[in-house]
Amino acid sequence: MQLIGCWSSGFTRRIGITLKLLDLPFDHLNVDVFKRPEDVRPYSPMLKIPALVIDNGEVLLDSDSMVDYLHERVGPLRALIAISGAERRQALRIVGIATTVYEKFRAVEQEASRPEALQMASVSDFYSAQALTGFEMLESAAKGRWLVGGALSQADIMTVVAYQAVSNSPLLAEVNARRFPKLAALSRHAMLLPAFESTVPR
């Protein structure tokens, strides 16, 4: 398999972490789509990352479909989410919250990148408030070492990806270990695993 996208993309990082945790070999084309679009276009004509080339040559362009494929490949006993029931619903709920938080943060980033005269503070404030509310929901969900069922799951992966991306940015300074101590602890615990540490944007 081949994963296309840079680790600064949270969704690329989510897939990289998943591949590493599942011990699935892959090549990584670590490319910034904004700087080298010509390297991405053969795999993703829309220049959407991540892209995952699977062994039969098909290219997947959505991180949820990639996770689904990788779980299907390793089987339910190794999948990083319960196959059914309350734990699966809980994990999917947390993944949904963390994904939304990350997307709202990227929207804040995009607004901040516009010329100052064109920026809309009300829009940025709205997205920031959504992200902070999401982090409060994630903090409330953190009750043990891992978020769901006492084992590492997709819920932890996406939550750590979102928390680290936002807490390392000056755009949402309210997201820090003092305000969200459980998420900070989850992040530190995850970073003990090579799958997380090796995919930190450098």
The string of pLDDT tens digits covering residues 20-79 is 999 999 999 999 999 999 999 999 999 999 999 999 999 999 999 999 999 999 999 999
| Percent of the residues in the chain that have a pLDDT greater than 90, as a whole number | 88
The domains found in the chain, sorted by start residue, are 2-74 (3.40.30.10), 85-197 (1.20.1050.10)
Q: What is the pTM of this model?
A: 0.94
Alpha-carbon dihedral 102, 108, 109, 114, rounded to 10 degrees:
150
Q: Do the bridges between strand 51-53 and strand 59-60 make them parallel or antiparallel, or are there none, so unpaired?
A: antiparallel
Using N-to-C axis directions, what is the helix angle for 181-190 and 154-167, rounded to 10°?
110
Of 15, 151, 23, the C-alpha closest to 91 is 151
Of 78, 105, 97, the C-alpha closest to 147 is 97
The pLDDT of residue 170 is above 80: yes
What local confidence, expressed as pLDDT, does residue 121 receive? 74
What is the distance between the alpha carbons of residues 140 and 142, in angstroms, rounded to a whole number?
Answer: 6
The pLDDT of residue 156 is above 80: yes
What local confidence, expressed as pLDDT, does residue 114 receive? 75
What's the mean pLDDT in 171-179?
Answer: 93
Q: Is the separation of the CB atoms in 196 and 17 below 8 Å?
A: yes
> 18 is written with which tokens?
């998943």
